[in-house]
Amino acid sequence: MPELPEVETVRRGLEPAMTGAVIASAQVNRPDLRWPFPPGMATRLTGQRVLGLRRRSKYILADLSSGETLLIHLGMSGRILISGDPLGQFVHDHPAAEKHDHVVLDMANGARITFNDPRRFGAMDLMATDNAEAHPLLAKLGPEPLGNQFDEPYLVAALQDKNTPIKSALLDQRIVAGLGNIYVCEALFRAGISPLRRAGRISAKRVAALVPIIRAVLNDAILAGGSSLRDFRQADGELGYFQHSFDVYDREGAPCRRPGCPGNVRRVVQSGRSSFYCATCQR
């Protein structure tokens, strides 16, 4: 599943081709993805100007001149490709249609935005922009880890009574939005905290120190273009490369990268997900 850095990378890639541009035509090639598309989606999109692109957690939000917002979720294998951009920043020629091109937006500026999703775990919806935060997928989300509301006092208060492992607590989207398995593993390694530790038993000082570390891990990944695991692609089709910088994720049995640490990376399963950590230096 693409995590916050991958989604933010796609959002930034879409901005030059979509923000301020009009959707000249919208083509919807099936009735649903993970859930049914909203009624008349192609008609409701056609002719609308994209006022701006936002990200909330792992969702891309395109605010339209109609007063509606298009919500996009990539799912496990969804990708958005750009072709024909008049600024020359992307592929110039529109590629031949593929089997899993489920939604295609032709922009008035000549760009084409294609949502391709072989496994159909992605999603799209339309909602009133003024009431977007009340959408069922967004209503219960916690603060953004890169936003001002996610600060040291907030995280200390949110975790102080939690009896769940710190890894599980940070993956709880009600506590902090957008964090996923990969970057929580990386943040806990940088913080020297075991993913097995109970969140409520970690000192306030160590919890507070997690805030800048989480932000640094996410910013590093965004600057590197996302992790590109499995089917993820940037909007221009280029692979990201942050996976080459992982300290612990998917490195089971490899030597710990912390200077002076003699340990090796271990893998344990927590709530059905693999946690990678160094038992020697993460306590």
**Active-site positions?**
2-3, 58, 273
Encoded tokens for 189: 């390694």
Torsion sign over Cα 17, 20, 25, 26: positive
The separation between CA 183 and the C-alpha centre of its own chain, rounded to angstroms, equals 11
Which residues, 6+ apart, have CB-to-CB distance to 249 below 8 Å?
Answer: 181, 182, 185, 186, 243, 276
Cα–Cα distance measured from residue 283 to residue 197, given in angstroms and rounded to the nearest whole number: 7
Encoded tokens for 56: 């909330």
Cα–Cα distance measured from residue 19 to residue 181, given in angstroms and rounded to the nearest whole number: 31
129 and 138 Cβ atoms separated by less than 8 Å:
no
Cα–Cα distance measured from residue 56 to residue 135, given in angstroms and rounded to the nearest whole number: 12
Longest dimension (CA), the chain: 61
Burial class (CB in 10 A: 0-12, 13-18, 19+), 243: middle
Give the up-direction half-sphere exposure of residue 166: CA atoms within 13 A in the CB hemisphere: 30
